[in-house]
């Protein structure tokens, strides 16, 4: 009798949204709620990174939140997608220690699967769904040209257009292609993140993860031209809302989110009507 072949389980793509921190640059707006729950045009900010993941087919998403705002996230998102095949779970981050900590906190969530980490204040006009779905192993980041590269981790390309170096907030010009807040990695990222040493800023640096994969020839960099919004200041938040409206980014949401939001709003209206008699 022939042996049953040892068929390895296909890796899923898990999602993580990093939505912790105190967002002091947005005080006093964030004294009472999380930055990622502030509105960007017509909906809370958190729905934009959620859309990036859900539209790419990711159905198991961990949201990392600050302890003081965990209840706000659970009230909004705890059961929003309950009947729509999307699982949302939460992990409290007591104190931010750098972006790679998201992979450490999400170790059990990631398991042996691949993971897409997106920052909770990053909004993308482009649809990266095909890249996410086609990802198999190694690492993948997304870069775009910016006017102020000294604020970001930037990618240096060789003459053939292949990435050969990533530098965090360079003191002198290296490149004007900034690495944006969406990262795809295989499950090795957890162990790599655990071995990282804090930088001079006292934080674990995401650029060190990028370069670990880059040195092994396993990091892909995709450039794009659509709007990338990092809504971390009052001016950036205002600009983000205007760009979302002008480019109709809010009209390109996955039906799962559109239907869930409509149902949530209607249920809320009914509750308020009963409460007011």
Instruction: Check residue 58 and report its DSSP letter.
Output: -
Pairing of strands 177-185, 114-119: antiparallel
Is 152 inside a domain boundary?
A: no
Residue in the structure block whose two tokens are 């795809």:
184
Burial class (CB in 10 A: 0-12, 13-18, 19+), 157: middle
45 vs 51: CA distance, rounded Å: 10
Owning domain of residue 86: 13-142+180-276
Is 199 inside a domain boundary?
A: yes
233 vs 39: CA distance, rounded Å: 13
pLDDT band at 1 (very low <50, low <70, confident <90, very high): very low
Is 80 exceeded by the pLDDT of residue 42?
A: yes
* pLDDT digits 0-9 by tens, 220-256: 999 999 999 988 789 989 999 999 999 999 999 999 9
pLDDT, position 8: 56
Is 155 inside a domain boundary?
A: no
Average pLDDT on 151-163 reads: 88
pLDDT band at 2 (very low <50, low <70, confident <90, very high): very low
Q: Which long-range contacts (CB under 8 A, 24 or more apart) does 270-273 make?
A: none
Run of H or E including 91? strand 87-92
72 vs 63: CA distance, rounded Å: 12
Is 60 exceeded by the pLDDT of residue 37?
A: yes
Average pLDDT on 169-198 reads: 94
Is 92 inside a domain boundary?
A: yes
Token pair of 39 as six digits = 């509105």
Is residue 50 within 8 Å of 63, Cβ to Cβ? no
pLDDT, position 9: 60
Is 5 inside a domain boundary?
A: no
- DSSP for 112-170 reads TSEEEEEETTEEESS--HHHHHH--SSEEEEEEE-S-GGGSEEEEE-TTS-EEEEEES-
- Helices marked H in the chain — which ranges? 47-55, 70-77, 101-105, 107-110, 129-134, 188-195, 206-215, 234-247, 255-276
Is 70 exceeded by the pLDDT of residue 57?
A: yes
90 vs 168: CA distance, rounded Å: 29
Rg (CA), the chain: 19
* pLDDT digits 0-9 by tens, 90-140: 999 988 899 999 999 999 999 999 999 999 999 999 999 999 999 999 999
Q: Total domain count for the chain?
A: 1
Q: For position 117, which CATH number holds?
A: 3.90.550.10
Is 169 inside a domain boundary?
A: no
7 vs 186: CA distance, rounded Å: 19
First-to-last alpha carbon distance for the chain, in angstroms, is 73
Counting Cα atoms < 13 Å in the Cβ hemisphere of 214 gives 17
178 DSSP β-pair partners: 144, 154
pLDDT band at 3 (very low <50, low <70, confident <90, very high): very low
Is 131 inside a domain boundary?
A: yes
pLDDT, position 7: 43
Is 190 inside a domain boundary?
A: yes
Please provide residue 2's backbone torsions phi and psi, each rounded to the nearest 5 degrees: -70, 145
């Amino acid at each position: 009798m022939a042996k049953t072949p040892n068929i390895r389980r296909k890796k899923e793509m898990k999602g993580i949204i990093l939505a912790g921190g105190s967002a002091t640059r947005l005080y006093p707006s964030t004294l009472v709620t999380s930055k990622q729950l502030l509105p960007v045009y017509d909906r809370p900010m958190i729905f934009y990174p959620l859309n990036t993941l859900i539209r790419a087919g990711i159905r198991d998403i961990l949201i990392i939140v600050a302890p003081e705002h965990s209840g706000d996230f659970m009230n909004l998102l705890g059961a929003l997608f309950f009947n729509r095949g999307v699982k949302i779970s939460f992990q409290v981050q007591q104190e931010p220690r750098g972006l790679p900590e998201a992979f450490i906190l999400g170790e059990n969530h990631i398991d042996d699967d691949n993971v897409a980490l997106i920052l909770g204040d990053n909004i993308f006009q482009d649809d990266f769904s095909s890249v996410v779905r086609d990802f198999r192993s190694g690492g993948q980041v997304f870069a775009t040209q910016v006017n102020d590269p000294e604020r970001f981790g930037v990618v240096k390309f060789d003459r053939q257009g292949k990435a050969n170096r990533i530098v965090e907030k360079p003191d002198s010009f290296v490149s004007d292609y900034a690495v944006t807040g969406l990262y795809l990695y295989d499950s090795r990222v957890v162990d790599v993140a655990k071995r990282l040493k804090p930088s001079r800023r006292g934080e674990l640096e995401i650029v060190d993860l990028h370069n670990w994969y880059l040195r092994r020839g396993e990091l892909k960099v995709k450039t794009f031209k659509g709007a990338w919004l990092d809504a971390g200041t009052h001016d950036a938040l205002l600009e983000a809302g205007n760009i979302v409206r002008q480019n109709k980014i809010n009209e390109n949401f996955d039906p799962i989110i559109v239907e869930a939001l409509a149902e949530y709003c209607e249920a809320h209206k009914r509750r308020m009507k009963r409460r007011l008699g």
